[in-house]
Amino acid sequence: MTDLLTLDHISLSYETEGGLVPVVRDLSLGLEKGAIGCLLGASGCGKTTVLRAIAGFEPLRAGRILLGGAVLSEPGRQVAPEHRHVGMMFQDYALFPHLSVEKNIAFGLRKRPKAWREQRVKELLALTGLEGSAQRYPHELSGGQQQRVALARALAPEPELLLLDEPFSNLDVDTRERLAFEVRDILKKTGHTAILVTHNQAEAFAIADKIGVMQAGTIVQWDTPYGLHHHPVNDYVADFIKREALMAQRAQAYLRGEAS
């Protein structure tokens, strides 16, 4: 199967007062349509920078980003973020506090016909289990419910690719795990392709089909959760994975339907 998203040897740097600082180095990955990928790594390794580059907010120093075979970014050329068909969901929800759940979800659909918009919002409320909360306001919802609204809003315009930056990190541990499984179920139901960024291994194993273990601006191994566990390419990956192995095994068992 051909990949929907391709990062082809991308490199990124930030301009600082001290000069150009390389942050992402020669990073490549391919993600099939309908798959959920995850960038996993310690703070500062460059995960968010990669996501921002896919969204179109950071220019590339080298390499190319392709979506559905079309080049989105290469040095000196960028498709504008609003023309990429890429949706985003971030850790701080970024919901509009003065709009109801229903209106938050419909926010990106203003240019669509009214009947289509109403039908789409209804579908998304059902998909995210928020039917009873359509008229409520963000401050009246729990953190987990707010994140489900944020997911519904990101999915509403039918993006080709969804980017999730540490979407669960503001939630307590129990909610975070439950929501990770719920989000996976929702994305699988709708067939969306997504890339998630996290430093939390349990979250990565709960949600992802493919995980990229990052170290100092590059991917050390891009593999299935099974592959990372059983065939780590070096000691760094092996140690990194071992640290939360118990949690990861639980998540895998859940996904195989062997645990509740």
Ligand X SMILES: Nc1ncnc2c1ncn2[C@@H]1O[C@H](COP(=O)(O)OP(=O)(O)OP(=O)(O)O)[C@@H](O)[C@H]1O
57 belongs to the binding site for ligand X (CB under 6 A): no
Question: Which is closer to ligand X, CB of 100 or CB of 215?
Answer: 215
Q: Which of 22, 34, 48, 160 binds ligand X (CB under 6 A)?
A: 48
Question: Which is closer to ligand X, CB of 45 or CB of 106?
Answer: 45
Q: Which of 181, 209, 182 is nearest to 195 (CA)?
A: 209
Q: Which of 1, 17, 18, 43 binds ligand X (CB under 6 A)?
A: 43
* Alpha carbon distance 239, 236 (integer Å): 5
Q: Helices 173-190 and 245-255 meet at what angle, rounded to 10?
A: 40
* Count of residues engaged in binding ligand X, rule: CB under 6 A: 13
Q: Are 100 and 137 in contact (CB under 8 A)?
A: yes
Closest separation in Å from C-beta 165 to ligand X = 8
Closest separation in Å from C-beta 72 to ligand X = 18
Report CA torsion sign: 204, 243, 171, 144: positive
226 belongs to the binding site for ligand X (CB under 6 A): no
Q: Helices 143-155 and 173-190 meet at what angle, rounded to 10?
A: 20
Listed in sequence order, the residues at least 6 apart from 134 whose beta carbon sits closer than 8 Å to its beta carbon are 100, 101, 102, 121, 125
2 belongs to the binding site for ligand X (CB under 6 A): no
164 belongs to the binding site for ligand X (CB under 6 A): no
**Positions in 103-142 near ligand X (CB under 6 A):** none
16 belongs to the binding site for ligand X (CB under 6 A): yes
Closest separation in Å from C-beta 137 to ligand X = 29
46 belongs to the binding site for ligand X (CB under 6 A): yes
Strand order in the sheet with 193-198: 86-90, 161-165, 193-198, 36-40, 210-215, 218-223
Q: Which of 4, 31, 35, 45 binds ligand X (CB under 6 A)?
A: 45
Question: Which is closer to ligand X, CB of 101 or CB of 237?
Answer: 237
Which positions lie near ligand X, rule CB under 6 A?
A: 14, 16, 21, 23, 41, 43-49, 199
